[in-house]
Structure 1
Amino acid sequence: MQLLRRGDSGPAVVEIRSTLRQFGLMTGPAATPEDDRFDADTERAVRAFQQRRGLISDGIVGQATYRALREAGWTLGDRMLALLVSAPMSGDDVLALQERLLELGFDPGRPGGVFDEQTEQALRKFQREYGLVPDGMCGPATLRSLRQLGRKVTGGRPRLMREQEVLRQSGPRLRGKRIVVDPGHGGADRGVVAAGVAEADLMWDLARRIVGRMSATGMDAMLTRQEHTCPTETERAEFANTTGADLVLSLHTDANSSMHAQGLATYHFGNGTGATSTVGEALAGFIQRELLTRTAMLDCRSQARTWELLRLTRMPTVRVEVGYLTHLGDRKRLLDPAFRDVVAEGILVAVKRLYLLGQNDQPTGTFSFSDVLAHELERGGAQAI
């Protein structure tokens, strides 16, 4: 769909205003076909909705915001839920189903609001255990049982505890860990372009540096794209899910109309309603701190978002925005191969810190690639760095 912003008008604006009013974000009389203006009140309501849903609060209705508006209108019981491979069902009703299954002790994966294969498997298991037809569809009978039963898992957040336990059981060594590295954009999609420098090219180079270092430690590191291809976000997520990756690292740079905007930011999955990736949040924090210490870039913080790659991947995923290409200082850094080496090393060390779980750790910024490599090549790897 086309972007809708302040000053626009038409039937699509009427629909958006009506939806926002249903969510209590706009007051006053109901919208009419004649009242089709995207005015200041509409923009404020859109910003409030975006903030609530873990989206960029820019007041503009693009594809991600329109999707979120549509999904927020579903409640559990409004429709039959089932696995549709070609066009997976998504919405707040799917999210509610996933959270309910988790409460009952069944694992549909991280609650992202998308009815995928893991959600279907968890639903079938629930149906079998409670004497229902295990068809993997959430209809009236299954819904009644879900509502009647009490929780099996109490205290804490079960999915988050599962993520942490998987991390703990995997051990401190990097050898054998499967990591998907996602260089943003690619092919005809150049991403941010400033002063003749393209985001797609810089992130391709950075990704290869990271993969090279990871492979040297014994990790199974893979790229989501080739130099001249550009998969969709959904395709990148499907690649990570199919390969059974332990982690996903997505690499980007940012841009801003202001030449003064600069700095480093990391993003992990979080939907604003409590569902988040604990391990993803931890890794985002490690990467943020390591790179800030090593590069002295401006801290734009680690934040939760519901972007497609973050919510569609079944494993912890972090998006790293390495500076602003529209900022002269950040662009100068990114053009320096030595700087990209520093970033690659910092990201590798952050992944190592994640798996150390705080055991035998050292101050941020003190590990080097040589330190990590020496540990990984130790016979048996019994001791952490």
Structure 2
Amino acid sequence: MQVLRLGDHGSAVAEIRALLAGRGLLVDASASNGSHASSLPAQTSSAQSPWSPPDAVFDEACDRAVRAFQQERGLIVDGIVGYATYTALREASYRLGARILLYRLAAPMTGDDVATLQSRLQNLGYYHGLVDGIFGDVTHTALGSYQTEYGLQSDGICGPSTLRSLERLGTRVTGGSPHAIREEEYVRKSGPQLTGKRILIDPGDEAPIGDENAILWDLAARLEGRMSAAGMETFLSHDAKTVPTDDDRIRVANLADVDLMISLRTGHYANEKANGVAGFYFGTTHGSYSTIGRNLAGYIQREIVARTGMLDCRTHARTWNILRSTRMPVVVIEAGYITNTRDADALSNPDVRDTIAEAVLVAVKRLYLMGENDRPTGTYTFAELLEAEHVTG
């Protein structure tokens, strides 16, 4: 799609402004057309113009509104409307009841209306997945079960009769997310040992800078070696010769049927002073998040910061597609800013990469220990971990 930013104009900008106005983030420009038109170049108010100022101008007010929306939805806050931001704006415009919802295998329906439906089904005890706004097979099955129990046609389609039925009912389940309970129970049942755990390591970015991917591939190799030594089954999302899109990585992850996915990246920022380590996991404004993703991100963040002394940029919930569309808990680690000289120099040091790899492995172990027989952050060594796993060699 067309990428829009400050200074652009046209019908596509008019659509963006309308979507932002619909969320209350931007005043409808047409209501104050006279007060703004005089500040625009004379040619823009010509009858020959294919767009109408100021409601089709990406001005500073629109830029601020886009950034506010991006912040609200857990997107990268850059004021640029690309594919991710446009898709999120469209999804945010849907309200439950405005359209019929159904399961489409090739192109699943997405939107805030789907998230609202998932929340209602979850509160009634039928839906046990993440409230992610994606109408997938789990949502379809949950809706069908609800329809069967309440004497509706069990077709998994949310139309007028199903909506009326949902509106008449209250809440059955409170006090916790069924998905979170299931995630934690799965980890608990799998036991504290790392042996046999299946991990997908995803190194590199879609738009690498300089030696970024070479550094991350080396880090991935060091992490893979340590995980294999601990008895884990490790997989890579792609080979070193390719730079796949996030959609490609998601497809591989979902086909691999792994327990966890760890995506290794570095931060990019125009101001080279930006530095530090950050972790990201799936979480939404609907209050739904991956409990295991959040826990693992926190463990990794604390271990890396304690062992390297890099700036702690904390962990954050995000709705990035690589976090949202995967079937297993996923953590994205930004192990320093490649655009910062100090961070880049540190990441270029093999000893630092060794330290980060060990920190990630220990964090995964902490996840499965679930607080039992734990060690203070930054003190659990690789040798101790191998001894705990009863691995020799």
With the length of structure 1 as denominator, give the TM-score of the two structures. Answer: 0.91
Q: Write the distance in 1 (CA, Å) between the matches of 2:152 and 2:292.
A: 34
Are the counterparts in 2 of residues 192 and 255 from structure 1 also a CA contact under 8 Å?
A: no
Which of 60, 63, 76 is matched with 2:96 structurally?
76
Counterpart in the other structure of 1:15? 15
One-letter code of the match for 1:233? D
Q: Write the distance in 1 (CA, Å) between the matches of 2:296 and 2:103.
A: 31
In the alignment, structure 1 residue 365 sits paired with structure 2 residue 378: yes
1:107-146, aligned counterparts within 5 Å? 107-146=127-166
Are the counterparts in 2 of residues 250 and 318 from structure 1 also a CA contact under 8 Å?
A: yes
Q: Write the distance in 2 (CA, Å) between the matches of 1:13 and 1:105.
A: 42
Counterpart in the other structure of 1:27? 27
Say which is worse superposed, 262-271 or 126-135, in terms of deviation. 126-135
Q: Write the distance in 1 (CA, Å) between the matches of 2:163 and 2:195.
A: 44
In the alignment, structure 1 residue 334 sits paired with structure 2 residue 353: no
Are the counterparts in 1 of residues 230 and 391 from structure 2 also a CA contact under 8 Å?
A: no
Q: Write the distance in 2 (CA, Å) between the matches of 1:135 and 1:61.
A: 37
1:335 Cα offset (Å): 1.4
Q: Mark the runs of 5 or more structure 2 residues left unpaired by the alignment.
A: 32-50
Counterpart in the other structure of 1:51? 71
Are the counterparts in 2 of residues 192 and 254 from structure 1 also a CA contact under 8 Å?
A: no
Which of 332, 336, 341 is matched with 1:319 structurally?
332
1:127 Cα offset (Å): 2.7
One-letter code of the match for 1:102? Q
Q: Write the distance in 2 (CA, Å) between the matches of 1:134 and 1:222.
A: 40
Q: 1:242 and 1:102, CA in 2 relative to 1: closer, same or farther beyond 3 A?
A: farther
Q: Write the distance in 2 (CA, Å) between the matches of 1:356 and 1:313.
A: 24
1:44 Cα offset (Å): 1.1
Counterpart in the other structure of 2:318? 305
Counterpart in the other structure of 1:383? none
In the alignment, structure 1 residue 38 sits paired with structure 2 residue 54: no
Q: Write the distance in 2 (CA, Å) between the matches of 1:52 and 1:270.
A: 11
In the alignment, structure 1 residue 201 sits paired with structure 2 residue 205: no
One-letter code of the match for 2:187? L
Q: Write the distance in 2 (CA, Å) between the matches of 1:28 and 1:71.
A: 20
One-letter code of the match for 1:311? R
1:150 Cα offset (Å): 2.7
1:315 Cα offset (Å): 2.0
1:108 Cα offset (Å): 4.7
For residues 122-149 of structure 1, the C-alpha deviation after alignment (integer angstroms, 9 at most, x for no partner) is 2223233333333222222222233223
Are the counterparts in 2 of residues 333 and 339 from structure 1 also a CA contact under 8 Å?
A: yes
1:123-272, aligned counterparts within 5 Å? 123-185=143-205, 191-194=207-210, 197=211, 199-272=212-285
Q: Mark the runs of 5 or more structure 1 residues left unpaired by the alignment.
A: 380-385
1:103 Cα offset (Å): 1.1
1:208 Cα offset (Å): 2.1
Q: Write the distance in 2 (CA, Å) between the matches of 1:335 and 1:11.
A: 46
Aligned Cα root-mean-square deviation (Å): 1.9
1:362 Cα offset (Å): 1.1
Are the counterparts in 2 of residues 103 and 158 from structure 1 also a CA contact under 8 Å?
A: no
Q: Write the distance in 2 (CA, Å) between the matches of 1:120 and 1:231.
A: 30
Counterpart in the other structure of 1:382? none
One-letter code of the match for 1:9? H
Q: 1:2 and 1:276, CA in 2 relative to 1: closer, same or farther beyond 3 A?
A: same
1:162 Cα offset (Å): 2.3
Which of 104, 121, 124 is matched with 1:104 structurally?
124
Q: Write the distance in 1 (CA, Å) between the matches of 2:283 and 2:376.
A: 28
Q: 1:204 and 1:117, CA in 2 relative to 1: closer, same or farther beyond 3 A?
A: farther
Say which is worse superposed, 148-157 or 301-310, in terms of deviation. 148-157
User: Match of 1:222, SS?
Assistant: strand
In the alignment, structure 1 residue 347 sits paired with structure 2 residue 360: yes
Say which is worse superposed, 26-35 or 173-182, in terms of deviation. 26-35
1:26 Cα offset (Å): 1.3
1:109 Cα offset (Å): 1.7
Are the counterparts in 2 of residues 224 and 236 from structure 1 also a CA contact under 8 Å?
A: yes
Say which is worse superposed, 160-169 or 8-17, in terms of deviation. 160-169
One-letter code of the match for 2:352? F
1:378 Cα offset (Å): 6.5
Are the counterparts in 1 of residues 277 and 301 from structure 2 also a CA contact under 8 Å?
A: yes
User: Match of 1:193, SS?
Assistant: coil
Q: Write the distance in 1 (CA, Å) between the matches of 2:28 and 2:295.
A: 43
Which of 89, 105, 110 is matched with 1:85 structurally?
105
Say which is worse superposed, 314-323 or 226-235, in terms of deviation. 226-235
One-letter code of the match for 1:184? G
Q: How many residues align?
A: 372
**Bigger Rg, which one:** 2
Say which is worse superposed, 294-303 or 32-41, in terms of deviation. 32-41
Are the counterparts in 1 of residues 93 and 112 from structure 2 also a CA contact under 8 Å?
A: yes
With the length of structure 2 as denominator, give the TM-score of the two structures. Answer: 0.89
1:41 Cα offset (Å): 0.8
Are the counterparts in 1 of residues 229 and 391 from structure 2 also a CA contact under 8 Å?
A: no
Are the counterparts in 1 of residues 110 and 135 from structure 2 also a CA contact under 8 Å?
A: yes
